[in-house]
Amino acid sequence: MSLMALVLLAVPAVVRGQGMDTALLRGTVTEASNAVIPGATVTMTDDGTKVSQKTLTDAAGHYIFNALKPASYTATVEAAGFKVLVQSNIVLRVGQQTDLDFRLQVGQHTETVEVTSAPPLLSTVSAALGSQVNRQYLINLPLEDRNIANLAYLTPGITEVSGCGINCTGGTNFASNGQRYATAEFRLDGSLVTTPEGGEGGSTSGRYMPSVEGLQEFTVQNNSFSAEYGNNGGTVVNIVTKSGTDRFHGSGWWFFRRPWLDANDFFSNASGTPIGAYAHDQYGGSIGGPIIKQKTFFFFDYERTRDNAAHVINTSVPTMPERIGDFSQLLASGRQLYNPYQVTCTTTPSGQDCERAPITGNLIDPTLWDPIGAKVLNLFPPPNQPGDAQGFGNFAAKLIYPSPYYQFDVRIDHNFSEKNRLNGRYSQGGGHSDNPDPYFLEPTTYKQSIHNAVLEHNWNATPTLLWLNRISAMRANYPETTQTPVDPLSVGFPAVLVQNSYYGEKHFPNVSFDDGYQALGLTNGCCTDTIEADTQWLIDSQLTWSKGQHNLKFGFEKRYFLNSFWQPDNTSGDLYFGPTGTAASVFAPDSSQGNGLASLLLGWQDVNSGGVTARPRVANKSGETASYVQDDWRVTPRLTLNLGVRYEWSTPYSERFNRNMFSCFNCSSGVTVPGVELIGQSGTDYGFWAGREIIGTTQLATPSRRHANSDLNNVAPRLGFAYRLSNQTVLRGGAGVYYGLNFATNWQYGARAWNKYVSIPSSLNSGITPCATLENPYPLLTDPTCKTPGTFIGPPGGKYGILTNWGYDNDNHGSNTFRNAEIYQWNFGIERQLPGQMMVDLNYSASRSTHLPWNYSTENRNFLDAKTREALGSAGLGDTVPNPFQPFFVSVNGSTPLFAYNDIPDSIYTQAFVPLSDLLHPFPQFPGSFSGFPLFVATSSYHSLQARFEMRPSHGLNILAAYTFSKFLTDSDAGGNAWIGSLGFIGATQDLTNLRAEKSVSANDTPQRLVVALVYELPVGRGKAFGRGMNRVVDGFVGGWRLNNFTTLQSGQPITIYEANSLLADGHQRPDVTGNPCSGANILDVVSTSLGGSQNADYFKYDLNTGNSPVLSHAADQYPGSAPRYFSNCRSRGIKNTDFGISKRFTIREEMYIEARGDFFNFFNTPRFAPPTEAFGDPTFGEIFGQANNPRHGQIGIRFVF
């Protein structure tokens, strides 16, 4: 634990969380003279289930209920010699802790005093910040796709991340109180429904979200919460499902969306592109009720979603003459073809020049045809459109993308007695998305199957002792399957390519082009036959003991993560055919020459551009363990202190087959490389490269199959206070230490030595003559004619030990320096209940985080120092010099290599000359990068003023508003992922030798954000303020109307500017800047310019005609620019969005009605334009070409409720 954590032991902090998905109610029973009443019976009865819980007041008149489920209650208080007090309308929410005192009147026990007005239920014993969203908002607010995760945006401090449009879905994809995006934790009835995001590290992914119809409440806590929570980035979302009641209740619903409800995208509208056809239907039903009256209850909901989108593609296929070698129509536009098998080379003063002979009339002789290439060419469907003069644009197809999905939840609550309660829930979701192939060769299907279950037991051993035990599990499976209707072996492709021994799968290769033709075959490159399956277990036990003024909680939590993953990329290979293969010049092809289809027909692949990714299946296991103590101490009737401490640690992942490795940056390889004089081929003498013992090795996993030790230093104190100034006002302040999810918790990919892109050696002399062919893609390279078939040789694995990956990039996704990020949060504020069921909450909320993982650019430790980089410049660093490593890899002048390392001699170190920069790196044995996990040295700070306003149901009006004014600074935004969406590229590290220069506003800095949710039942109709005695027929038309609104206003997020052509080795160069680069031009003028209008408006101070800027200039060669990582005074367009809904209720009888509604998202159709092109030097710098949010779209729904 750091010094700051120790300091926080002396700072007040407190918690607004209880029992994870339950509530706590406590108070004092007194008589009129304020004397306490010991032995009074307090009974809390759930208004829905009629199940009661009882307790007795102690000698001081105190009572406590530790684990009440969120619901509406009626309290009954009885004592000898006093009238019975009955108070109704006591509404408790998820995680709420509150005081409620009762005052009895002297009288007969047969007399009853009834209180029906709602008591002031402020959170009088905690300081945790967040928000609670009750069922009024859950069921009525317009939510796109009825996605409940969007409700998190109703919490102060939670903002859209750079990369989202409006209330973007995706579960945890938001930033909260100065923490990185996707670090929150979602709990459903106490079970985890978020998992560590495999492959990203340090972030979470939402796996399951229940139907809104099955929810009771939604609560967010995002500052200074209880010690029972941890292993996350400082934000917890608690979701509670509905349980059955003592009467049968249920609902049925159907919501649909169609194009006629929508507006068009701004840019599509400008180009005349109509809205695409689609159909979205979401329907289901729910029912709940008693199994045994006042004993056992059930609730069940089922929902199904059907999406069918139609997409028309317009592309190019071979013309009928081209299929027989006739490309003569290309000559009309001056596009000449050249024969790659007829090359003449000459020596010039600047080097060798090789030219191909022209193909007469662009008619390819059948004797030159590659038999496989010719067959593949004829697998394209025939043209069905006229096309242009060259035949381009001659094919169109309408593709249907169906995406059905279902989900259901079933919950059982059983009360053995007042002391023993058991509840369980099982949820399941599943579906698939079809991605049709326009040529019907490799259609793919993305499937998903999710299971989540939880079982919880509560035992009230005594009125002051509660033991809660819970076990939950989640299984999420996301396989992707690809069909292969055409057997590639029948076309002539060899088994070594399309069914190699490494995979055993058989698919059609990805045959792609770069001159306008649609790729053929296995085009879904990244994810062919993906296997992604996560299993997560959570076991937690909590003992709550109330002793006098103390409410103590002792807890233990254990999480197990199991991850099976396989994303093999194109198992049958990537084959690239570009126009360069049939252009005149071998080394400097003219883009106006050649044709990709002609290259395919000739069997000429782009030089060394194709290959197969060899990647094994991965099976990882990791865990998190925690224990905690929490004491809610009621010092006085007005003052409560919360004293908590949590201890947690991560168990780094292991891999079932021990295919783990990590980088040791100071270990000796035991190999000494002799020195060499560095005389460049330019003639420059760069001095003597001294012989040395090579430092830096690859370490394989330990016998425990782990590559790192557990971080056992994570002690997290949580301390604080809440002071009740009056029954309407609470003053609170809090602080706490939290630890972010450890990078070592999960990882998808196998270690680098087990991953390899096995290149197809299409040529061994840079394209002068061919080597590999379609028939023989992996020839024996020791045969100079390349005629002898070879074998497919996959990755070496760990057989070379500490010398693994010599001669290659050594990107190890592992290191022995794992640690958890340290997060310090604090807040101080006041909460006030106002007349009319209104409440306002005003807080200062802040956080500071240390030891955050830097973005991926700092994985690489193999970078040049600034002095060397600046002295040599790009020309010197790129000069080639004698290679002292060559004798280690290949025979030199008949010698035997010092050690046989490479199975395939494709390392750059097999060559006699290598770039000077490779030898000057600190780890020259790895040309390129030598990396582990990112550095854990990033920091961030966040300060904010947050306000929350709530109006509980009053005259039909419900309002929930959240405002945040904040400043968010950091030196790195990305941990596991360098990209976070369509709004822009994360500001990558510029100078790896000066990381502190990266400090700027965060990519997610949002100075101001206001969110307002409103549900208003119009006061018109029977029983309302207007038309109280209205006729039922008239009421059917004018009564029962409700307006629903969800408005978001948010500042724009900061922009980054980087060099389009970076001249900075090992970094991402930014330009020099002398002022605010934003021009302030009218956004519509900028967009008009981007669309080809007559204006010369640019988002930046930049002349599109001359390429000049008064405030920006290109940084010098190998020098970092002065521009900050992100500009605080230059921002993208902010959010101005209103989602609006209107509904009409038709009452059939009491508690039975039909509701018709219409919801419209982005109601005013306000476009939020994407950031401009941020690459300085790009011809489109400062232009805008996209819309970051959706245009207006609507949905119509109908609900039946009984």
Is residue 759 predicted with pLDDT exceeding 70? Answer: yes
Look up residue 162 and give its DSSP letter. B
Is residue 201 predicted with pLDDT exceeding 50? Answer: no
For residues 694 and 894, give the distance between their C-alpha atoms in angstroms, rounded to a whole number.
25
Look up residue 820 and give its DSSP letter. P
Which two three-digit tokens encode residue 1089?
A: 């310019």
pLDDT value of residue 323 = 95
Alpha-carbon distance values, 16 to 50, 157, 221, 626 (Å): 27, 16, 8, 20
pLDDT value of residue 1018 = 93
Q: Which of 122, 137, 154 is the last residue of a domain?
A: 122
Q: Which of 102, 122, 142 is the last residue of a domain?
A: 122
Give 1083-1095 pLDDT, tens digit per residue.
Answer: 888 888 888 777 7
Residue 197: pLDDT band with limits 50, 70, 90: low
Which two three-digit tokens encode residue 510?
A: 């990805």
Give 631-641 pLDDT, tens digit per residue.
Answer: 989 899 889 99
Residue 980: pLDDT band with limits 50, 70, 90: very low
For residues 1112 and 409, give the distance between their C-alpha atoms in angstroms, rounded to a whole number.
57
In a domain, 1129, yes or no: yes
Which of 759, 773, 756, 787 is CA-nearest to residue 494?
A: 773
pLDDT value of residue 956 = 87
Q: Which of 98, 122, 146 is the last residue of a domain?
A: 122
Which of 1110, 1111, 1089 is CA-nearest to residue 1098?
A: 1089
Which two three-digit tokens encode residue 370?
A: 């590659």
Average pLDDT of the segment spanning 1016-1042? 86
Beta carbons of 85 and 76 less than 8 angstroms apart: yes
Of the ranges 201-210, 315-324, 554-563, which one carries the lowest mean pLDDT score? Answer: 201-210
Is residue 7 predicted with pLDDT exceeding 60? Answer: no
Average pLDDT of the segment spanning 1043-1064? 93
pLDDT value of residue 977 = 40
Return the percentage of the chain with pLDDT > 70, whole number: 90
Query: How many C-beta atoms surround the C-beta of residue 447 within 10 A?
Result: 15
Reported residue count of the chain is 1202
pLDDT value of residue 744 = 67
For residues 1101 and 869, give the distance between their C-alpha atoms in angstroms, rounded to a whole number.
31
Query: Which domain, by its residues, includes 117?
Result: 17-122
pLDDT value of residue 984 = 40
Choose the most confident range, by mean pLDDT, from 128-132, 1060-1064, 1138-1142: 1138-1142
Phi, psi of 608 (to 5 degrees): 50, 40
pLDDT value of residue 5 = 41
In a domain, 710, yes or no: no
Question: Which residues are bridge partners to 1011 per DSSP?
Answer: 962, 1048
For residues 1101 and 1087, give the distance between their C-alpha atoms in angstroms, rounded to a whole number.
15
In a domain, 1111, yes or no: yes
pLDDT value of residue 45 = 92
pLDDT value of residue 527 = 67
Average pLDDT of the segment spanning 846-870? 82
Strands 338-348 and 351-358: antiparallel
Average pLDDT of the segment spanning 552-571? 86
Residue 975: pLDDT band with limits 50, 70, 90: very low
Is residue 628 predicted with pLDDT exceeding 90? Answer: yes
Residue 985: pLDDT band with limits 50, 70, 90: very low
Terminal CA-CA length for the chain: 55
The more confident residue out of 794 and 1125 is 1125
Average pLDDT of the segment spanning 856-870? 79
For residues 1138 and 724, give the distance between their C-alpha atoms in angstroms, rounded to a whole number.
37
Average pLDDT of the segment spanning 481-485? 77
Average pLDDT of the segment spanning 753-758? 80
Is residue 537 predicted with pLDDT exceeding 90? Answer: yes
In a domain, 153, yes or no: no
For residues 547 and 41, give the distance between their C-alpha atoms in angstroms, rounded to a whole number.
18
Is residue 983 predicted with pLDDT exceeding 50? Answer: no
The more confident residue out of 555 and 703 is 555
Tally of CA atoms within 13 A in the half-sphere of 902 that contains its CB: 21
Is residue 832 predicted with pLDDT exceeding 60? Answer: yes
Element (H, E) at 599: helix 596-602
Give 66-100 pLDDT, tens digit per residue.
Answer: 888 888 899 999 998 898 999 988 888 877 778 88
Element (H, E) at 873: helix 866-878
For residues 658 and 707, give the distance between their C-alpha atoms in angstroms, rounded to a whole number.
10
pLDDT value of residue 501 = 57
Give 1154-1183 pLDDT, tens digit per residue.
Answer: 999 999 999 999 999 888 989 999 988 999
In a domain, 270, yes or no: no
For residues 1140 and 1013, give the distance between their C-alpha atoms in angstroms, rounded to a whole number.
10
pLDDT value of residue 992 = 80
pLDDT value of residue 289 = 95
Q: Mapping DSSP to helix (H, G, I), strand (E, B) and coil, where does residue 771 land?
A: coil
What total of structural domains would you count in the chain?
2
pLDDT value of residue 752 = 73
The more confident residue out of 1048 and 9 is 1048
pLDDT value of residue 797 = 80
Average pLDDT of the segment spanning 1022-1033? 82
- The CATH number given to whatever domain includes residue 100 is 2.60.40.1120
In a domain, 1120, yes or no: yes
Give 941-971 pLDDT, tens digit per residue.
Answer: 999 999 999 998 878 899 999 999 999 999 8
pTM given for the model: 0.87
In a domain, 410, yes or no: no
Which of 921, 848, 912 is CA-nearest to residue 882?
A: 912
DSSP characters over 737-760: EEEPPPGGG---SPPGGG-EEEE-
Average pLDDT of the segment spanning 741-764? 75
Alpha-carbon distance values, 479 to 433, 448, 562, 564, 567 (Å): 11, 7, 16, 11, 10
Average pLDDT of the segment spanning 540-545? 93
Is residue 13 predicted with pLDDT exceeding 60? Answer: no
Which two three-digit tokens encode residue 126?
A: 């905690």
pLDDT value of residue 974 = 64
For residues 948 and 563, give the distance between their C-alpha atoms in angstroms, rounded to a whole number.
40
Is residue 11 predicted with pLDDT exceeding 50? Answer: no
pLDDT value of residue 859 = 67
Query: How many C-beta atoms surround the C-beta of residue 475 within 10 A?
Result: 17
pLDDT value of residue 856 = 56
pLDDT value of residue 310 = 81
In a domain, 828, yes or no: no
Give 1055-1074 pLDDT, tens digit per residue.
Answer: 999 999 999 888 889 999 99
Beta carbons of 803 and 810 less than 8 angstroms apart: no
pLDDT value of residue 200 = 47
Give 585-608 pLDDT, tens digit per residue.
Answer: 998 899 899 999 999 999 999 887
Average pLDDT of the segment spanning 966-980? 68
For residues 1068 and 730, give the distance between their C-alpha atoms in angstroms, rounded to a whole number.
50
Give 797-831 pLDDT, tens digit per residue.
Answer: 888 888 888 888 777 655 566 778 899 999 999 99
Residue 1035: pLDDT band with limits 50, 70, 90: confident
pLDDT value of residue 815 = 58
DSSP characters over 600-618: HHHT-PPTT--EEEE---E
